[in-house]
Structure 1
Amino acid sequence: MHFQPTDDQRALRAGVRELLARRFGREALRAAVDRPGMLDRALWRELGRAGFFALRLPEAEGGAGLGLPEAVLVFEEAGRALLPGPLVATHLAAGRVAGAAAGERVVTAPSGGLVEWLAEADAVQGDVTGAVPMASVDPLTPLHRLPGDPGDGPGPVAVLLTAAEQLGGAARTCELAVEHARTREQFGQPVGAFQAVKHVCAQSLVRVETARAAVYAAAVTADPLDIAAARLLADEAAVRGARDCLQVHGGMGFTWEADVHLYLKRAWVRTQRTGPTAYSDELLAVDLLPKAV
């Protein structure tokens, strides 16, 4: 990926979007919200058959033999669809945990002092001794909290794939805001005709495209500093974009029936998955500040 997807990469992204639209559309999303803590194992196996988890495994090991750029595109689509489950942990476990690549086993791992989907997991990568269930703001992400220091945070690949999910969510909330601004009328005209609403939508788009450039670049370089910058920009685009989308929707956006609040809640949870933002801030600061003599 030379900062623009190739034809093959566009086809991969389109295929994943089509799969998720067919298998995890709005009706399935709302059904999942109504049964919190229950993972759709049939969907998980279908993701495995589609190569979601084995994407970066070598072909000799039954994978697709692709790289980080392709994984980023796939996880961006997962974030756009609000796909639930420990996707990053299972993807990283492919080739190391039997059945993970095929979607036959659900794998989770501690990250940022939290563990997602612990009760549904078939395997855990890491120590979760003393994990305590906690209330999650996101109905599609059950959480356990670990006692003590959260540690150094997840590895750079986990951070990048989470940033890709954040990017997908940010892009979708921008789309939702624009769609509502075009169709919702007040005072005899679409609300998007008002300058204040135009500015909110435009600012959201700028954040999305800035984050996209950073995430795609980090997928190419795999540099920890680029990944740290991508994480910060994607987190901002996801959280602020969802908040702005709520504002564009007005009172309707705050209702349980609307999907907008689900994107905001998922964005909040993802910011904690990769540990405090101080990890990324400090990594960038060490590189940017003059070295002490």
Structure 2
Amino acid sequence: MRFLPDAEQRAFAASLDALLAAADTPAVVRDWSRGDHASGRALWSRVAEAGVFALAVPEACEGGLGPRPVELALAFVELGRHAVPGPLVETVTAAVLLGGADPGTAERLLPALASGGTIATVGIETARAETAGTETAGTKTAGTKAAAMKTAYALDGDVAALRLSCSPGGIRLSPGHGPVRPSLDPARRITPLTPGGELLLPGPLTDQALAWARLTTAAQALGVGLALLDQTVTHVKRRCQFGVPVGSFQAVKHRLADAKIALEFARPLVFGAALSMRPAEVAAAKAAACEAAYGTARTALQLHGAIGYTAECDLSLWLTKARALRTAWGDPHRCRALVVSAAGDRRW
């Protein structure tokens, strides 16, 4: 099996890297975190013009170039390397979901996703318990029964024009969203989706759509880890202690070598999973890439020192993203459980 990209794929990744390097993405991320989406939308349009979202849209649909998971994985490594904000994974997942809808729905919604004219997000309905109470003489007392309130939470629902709410009963086009809530990564703001809306697809989120979400998350995390490693290597070469660069200390070299090995181990898993798109292989790739990125973030923070915590330091933009991606679309424990389950199945 070939894991190395061909010349055309390498040129695509290099062109996207150049585009993002010229975009001053740290400033875009900070604007996005404050709720100012103008620069982020402009960058989104340039990413779409490069063909990134079209790679998830079937060729039969207007503007579609896909589905092409290997090219998407390459693109998301670069998007992660440059910390591009917004519901990138969710827009790809929405495109994959809508690719399985009826032709009329697909033709109505997919072209705008491919062109970047529409930003999409996807939320999975979860149950939240609420304690029932009784009203006595104007005073509310807690009861013993609990009512389950089901809500779908999505990334950047205030920015997305297309909001898909996933429940066991089907995939619906949510008519709105609730108040914006902060998250660990300031550039990944959470919003509850309004229930109801048009039913687009019957049944829950499919394993294949979940595999696409996990693949692009894994590739994005790999890019985040690579950026953190590059920034840290540059830092320890410049910072001096006892008259010599910190990077010359053997303990520092060992930490960076461990981070490098983990990232390079995850890379073929990500692209191997993109070739097969088997859910268990994708889950293995996500666990490896997200753990490698998270481990690299811890190393980067330790070697930068307290400055790495500060919002003024660009490093923090990647640190928080590495932590958030680790649990997005299935934490490492859940992904490993899927791999173990598949290993006991002869169809693996």
- TM above 0.5, yes or no, is yes
Q: Distance in 1 between matches of 2:223 and 2:320?
A: 14
Deviation at 1:110, TM superposition (A): 0.8
Counterparts in 2 of 1:130 and 1:15: CA distance versus 1, 3 Å? closer
Note closer, same or farther for the CA distance 1:60–1:261 as it changes in structure 2 (3 Å cut). Answer: same
Superposed displacement of residue 27, structure 1: 3.7
Q: Is the 8 A contact 1:90 1:101 kept in 2?
A: no
Is structure 2 residue 182 aligned with structure 1 residue 135?
A: yes
1:110 to 106, 123, 126: 123
SS at match of 1:124: strand
- Tell me if structure 1 keeps the 8 A contact 2:165–2:193: no
Letter in 1 for 2:121: T
**Does 1:235 pair with 2:290?**
yes
User: Residue in 1 aligned with 2:159?
Assistant: 120
Query: Could you say if the C-alpha distance between residues 5 and 226 of structure 1 is closer, same or farther in structure 2, counting changes exceeding 3 Å?
Result: same
Check whether the contact 1:52–1:91 (CA below 8 A) recurs between aligned residues: no
Letter in 1 for 2:225: A
- Alpha-carbon distance in structure 2 between the residues aligned to 1:278 and 1:197: 29
- In 2, distance between residues paired with 1:46 and 1:227? 28
- The TM-score with structure 2 as length reference comes to 0.75
Q: Distance between the aligned counterparts of 2:306 and 2:125, measured in 1?
A: 33
Q: CA deviation at 1:276?
A: 3.5
Which region of structure 1 is more displaced relative to structure 2, 44-53 or 90-99? 90-99
Answer with 163-172 or 125-134: which moved more.
125-134
SS at match of 1:126: strand
Residue 130 of structure 2 aligns with which residue? none
Opposite residue 41 of structure 1, the aligned amino acid is R
**Distance in 1 of aligned mates of 2:86 and 2:24:** 13
In structure 1, how many angstroms separate the alpha carbons of the residues matched to 2:184 and 2:32? Answer: 15
CA RMSD of aligned residues (A): 2.7
Q: Please report how far the alpha carbon of residue 286 of structure 1 lies from its aligned counterpart in structure 2 after TM superposition.
A: 1.3
Match of 2:184, as an amino acid? V
**C-alpha distance in 2 between matches for 1:132 and 1:28:** 22
CA contact (8 A) 1:115 1:144 kept: yes
1:274 aligns with 2:301: no
Q: Aligned partners of 2:188, 2:36: CA distance in 1, in Å?
A: 7
SS of match in other structure, 2:48: helix
Q: Which amino acid aligns with 1:190?
A: P
User: Which residue number in structure 1 is paired with residue 132 of structure 2?
Assistant: none
Deviations 1:8-62 (A, max 9, x none): 11101001101111224444344444x2463622222222222111024344532
How far has the Cα of 1:151 moved from its partner? 8.5
Report matched runs for 1:99-248 at 5 Å.
Answer: 99-111=112-124, 114-127=153-166, 133-144=180-191, 155-248=210-303
1:262 aligned to 2:317? yes
The size of the alignment, in residue pairs, is: 288
The DSSP-based 3-state class of the residue aligned with 2:115 is coil
Q: CA deviation at 1:176?
A: 0.9
Q: Displacement, 1:132?
A: 6.0
Please say if residues 166 and 234 of structure 1, whose CA atoms lie closer than 8 Å, have aligned partners that are also in contact: yes
Deviations 1:121-156 (A, max 9, x none): 101122569866432121111113579xx9998610
Structure 1 contact 111–273 (Cα < 8 Å) conserved: no
Deviation track 1:207-234 (CA, whole Å, cap 9, x = no partner) reads 1101111101111111111111101111
Gap runs ≥5 in structure 2: 100-105, 127-152, 167-173, 195-203
Confirm or deny: 8 A CA contact 1:89 1:107 kept in the other structure.
yes
**Retained in 2: the 8 A contact 1:58–1:65?**
yes
The one-letter amino acid paired with 2:44 is W
Q: What's the CA shift for 1:91? A: 2.4
